Structure 1
């Protein structure tokens, strides 16, 4: 049975109640409303007594029901996600951007500024939708960025996002550092898969059923990707000055130990996210003159 709302305010109220009934976050109703109307939150408040057009109404109802009944992410229903104040295309082939990853990029930006490295070269491993590479390219003056992913489908999305935002990035397909082993980088940054198979039972269906498994899960209790990257990095003729990883909240000590064991001369530091959980590892070595 179709809902009988007519105004924007009534649409939001119906959607919030529908999502609550299905144990979903009612805030998703507002996000979907903003997306389908193409309006800001403040504009919706100002015009909430206005009627919804039938075209928008039909699409909105369909999306609310899909999210409520199946858990399909809001970002997939809208086809886009926000990261660092920009809108990026997302598809089921890429990981949906998380706010915590913004903190990883901020940490890299701060390091580059503090170290006063002119025109830093950066490699982003497992780029997915390209959010890290594109943001670094646009926010770090003079940077030269290369983005790598094993998924050709993900690279199509990332390349499209780069064009949309006017970011000059080199894209490579392959397994982490494999396609760039002959190149030199100041900064290696990655948000690799780090969830262990044992954690599947604890995951929300909006992630488990819709984000690509390739971007989520790693063997060896979630550490396999870090080990692969670090073993590859150990064979680089010139090591990067900074390695920045996003991690699972219980992996800080393990990832730090891996870095310091496999890359002598690096000092690793675990940092917490805004929620107070271990979320990043930054490891640096001294510049050689």
Structure 2
């Protein structure tokens, strides 16, 4: 069997089950350890029987709901390879937009100053590690409540040679306990309402950590808790950046406006035109009245 025949067969298998055909290419590229351009130069080459067996196995696993990222062990984020497993959320492309926006805001607000950062609920470390690598002047901390998630994040930081200080704890408690303040707080917290659980795709609901997915009945529990902790950790001039779920942006923006009445609040759309990012920045003084 040639590479092209294997691709065609695997794509048909996926289409028949209403699954994404590009998964076939992703798996074969992983087995052969080649990029897309190289793969297309190999289409007429024979493919080893062991890879056909592996492909058949992985396709059946994927059809049962196992995410392709768990089958190959990684996801690409900002052009880098991040190890993922059942203990961490698989990084999404929309979160790359949050990282870009955070960098732009920091450049405007802090210019050449050193920026202390914390990524809350770091998971695989995608946000914290990317910020550390893209902005060498950032002093980056990352918090997660899950020991298993921190293990994955630390492994990714080591593999990608990123300087990130990891802390175990619930939301901002590790910094509050240390009485440490930072200029930039970023988080992609659990925000899916429990009421939406049954509507989730099986590969998300059954294979990604519920700790990283669900934010209470309405999905907003973590944001509510943040509002009591943020003022204890943010510097007087700072940035708070959140990723939010569908139809949550206006509510979270209102929470931030109430907690930080002198700050500028802003909602930004993702590439699909959905309101998925909420920011508060500038004067983070608390209302003394």
Give TM-score, length-normalised by structure 2.
0.94
Moved over 6 A (4+): none
CA deviations 1:183-240 (Å, max 9, x no partner) are 1111000000000011123211121111100000011400001111221113347456
Is 2:224 aligned against 1:227? yes
Question: Of 128, 137, 140, which residue of structure 1 is paired with 2:135?
Answer: 140
Is 2:245 aligned against 1:248? yes
Asked whether the 8 Å contact 1:185–1:239 carries over to 2, the reply is no
**Runs of at least 5 residues in structure 1 that lack an aligned partner in the other structure:** 1-5
Question: Of 63, 68, 81, which residue of structure 1 is paired with 2:75?
Answer: 81
The structure-2 alpha-carbon separation of the partners of 1:275 and 1:91, relative to structure 1 and needing over 3 Å to count, comes to same
Question: Of 3, 19, 22, which residue of structure 2 is paired with 1:8?
Answer: 3
Partner of 2:29: 34
Partner of 1:216: 213
CA deviations 1:100-148 (Å, max 9, x no partner) are 0000000011112222042211000000000000000010131100000
Asked whether the 8 Å contact 1:119–1:141 carries over to 2, the reply is no
Mapped to 2, the partners of 1:28 and 1:242 lie a distance apart of 38
Is 2:17 aligned against 1:22? yes
**Per-residue deviation at 1:263?**
2.8
Alpha-carbon RMSD across the aligned residues, in angstroms, is: 1.5
Asked whether the 8 Å contact 2:122–2:143 carries over to 1, the reply is yes
Asked whether the 8 Å contact 1:148–1:174 carries over to 2, the reply is yes
Which SS does the other structure have where 1:111 is aligned? helix
Partner of 2:93: 99
Partner of 1:3: none
Which SS does the other structure have where 1:82 is aligned? strand
Which SS does the other structure have where 1:176 is aligned? coil
Partner of 2:47: 52
Which SS does the other structure have where 1:18 is aligned? helix
Is 2:124 aligned against 1:129? yes
**Runs of at least 5 residues in structure 2 that lack an aligned partner in the other structure:** none
The alignment covers a number of residue pairs equal to 282
Asked whether the 8 Å contact 2:239–2:280 carries over to 1, the reply is yes
Partner of 2:108: 114
Between structures 1 and 2, the one with greater strand share? 2
Mapped to 2, the partners of 1:65 and 1:240 lie a distance apart of 52
Mapped to 2, the partners of 1:30 and 1:89 lie a distance apart of 19
Mapped to 2, the partners of 1:224 and 1:37 lie a distance apart of 44
Mapped to 1, the partners of 2:275 and 2:214 lie a distance apart of 18
CA deviations 1:32-71 (Å, max 9, x no partner) are 1111211111111111111111222222221112112x12
Is 2:66 aligned against 1:72? yes
